[in-house]
Amino acid sequence: RKKIIITIDGWSSCGKSTVARQLAKELNYVYIDSGAMYRAITLYFLRNHIDWTDIREVREALSNIQLDFRFNEQSQQSEIFLNDENVEYVIRDLVIAEKVSEIAAIREVREYAVKQQQAMGKKKGIVMDGRDIGTVVFPDAELKIFMTADNAVRVERRFKELYAKNPNITIEEVKNNLEMRDYIDSNREVSPLRQAADALVLDNSNLTMEEQLNKALDWVSVKI
């Protein structure tokens, strides 16, 4: 069967990665979480006290960053490494989420990440989720999905995830963070979050995981 590129874009905490991961597993494709790259870059900037308003500092920092995804046999998931350190867990912290959209709006940061993302799609057979994957990274992708979900559903979902790691977190913090990221992500100058003209919309507010996957698989079946 023909191998294709599948892009999944949408608002924060819509369940993109869950669908993307399952789809990749089902099709035996590679799954790439592009947001993890922006989060890992943010982690590096914070740890190294990079002044990201200074473009020379940004360029210098990026030249010292090596990102790669490695498949973990145990968890059966691909995990991101920042300069050989597994940072898959730490990048999910709210401290990172508070700054990531600001850093992901920097042109040089996007160019750095997009170039690597495009290289990963060379052989096709890939599912990538993010904000600009169907519009900028792979504008010719065979299948583009745009995911949405009710705000309340999204806040609740992300709150549960973060609360499991840190019981001090409040629902307001999570809600404010999602609203802030969506605002910055959809209003930035460089490749803002947009639904591609040829994207199919998947609203998962009232769908079970299985229903979402089946819908996506139906869409895939007419493309391969």
For position 88 contacting ligand C5P by CB under 6 A, the verdict is no
CB of 101 to ligand C5P, least distance (A): 4
Q: Which of the stretches 50-58, 127-135, 203-211, 212-220 binds ligand C5P when contact is defined by CB under 6 A?
A: 127-135
For position 101 contacting ligand C5P by CB under 6 A, the verdict is yes
Question: What is the three-class DSSP state of 147?
Answer: strand
DSSP category for residue 69: E
CB of 80 to ligand C5P, least distance (A): 11
Contacts of 5 (CB under 8 A, 6+ apart): 121, 124, 126, 128, 138, 140, 141, 142, 143
Q: Are 14 and 147 in contact (CB under 8 A)?
A: yes
Q: Which of the stretches 129-137, 140-148, 200-208, 214-222 binds ligand C5P when contact is defined by CB under 6 A?
A: 129-137
Determine whether the annotation assigns residue 10 to a binding site. Answer: yes
Determine whether the annotation assigns residue 14 to a binding site. Answer: yes
Q: Are 12 and 185 in contact (CB under 8 A)?
A: yes
Which candidate, 136, 115, 140, places its Cα nearest to that of 6? 140
Span 165-184, contacts to ligand C5P by CB under 6 A: 181
d(CA 80, CA 118): 17
For position 121 contacting ligand C5P by CB under 6 A, the verdict is no
CB of 192 to ligand C5P, least distance (A): 9
d(CA 91, CA 193): 21
Phi, psi of 180 (to 5 degrees): -65, -45
Q: Which of the stretches 65-73, 130-138, 151-159, 162-170 binds ligand C5P when contact is defined by CB under 6 A?
A: 130-138
Q: Which of the stretches 20-28, 64-72, 100-108, 214-222 binds ligand C5P when contact is defined by CB under 6 A?
A: 100-108
Q: Are 147 and 131 in contact (CB under 8 A)?
A: no
Residue 5, token pair as written in the block: 């590129």
CB of 111 to ligand C5P, least distance (A): 12
For position 144 contacting ligand C5P by CB under 6 A, the verdict is no
Query: What residue numbers does the annotated binding site cover?
Result: 10-18
- List residues near ligand C5P by CB under 6 A: 12, 34-35, 38-39, 100-101, 104, 130-133, 181, 185
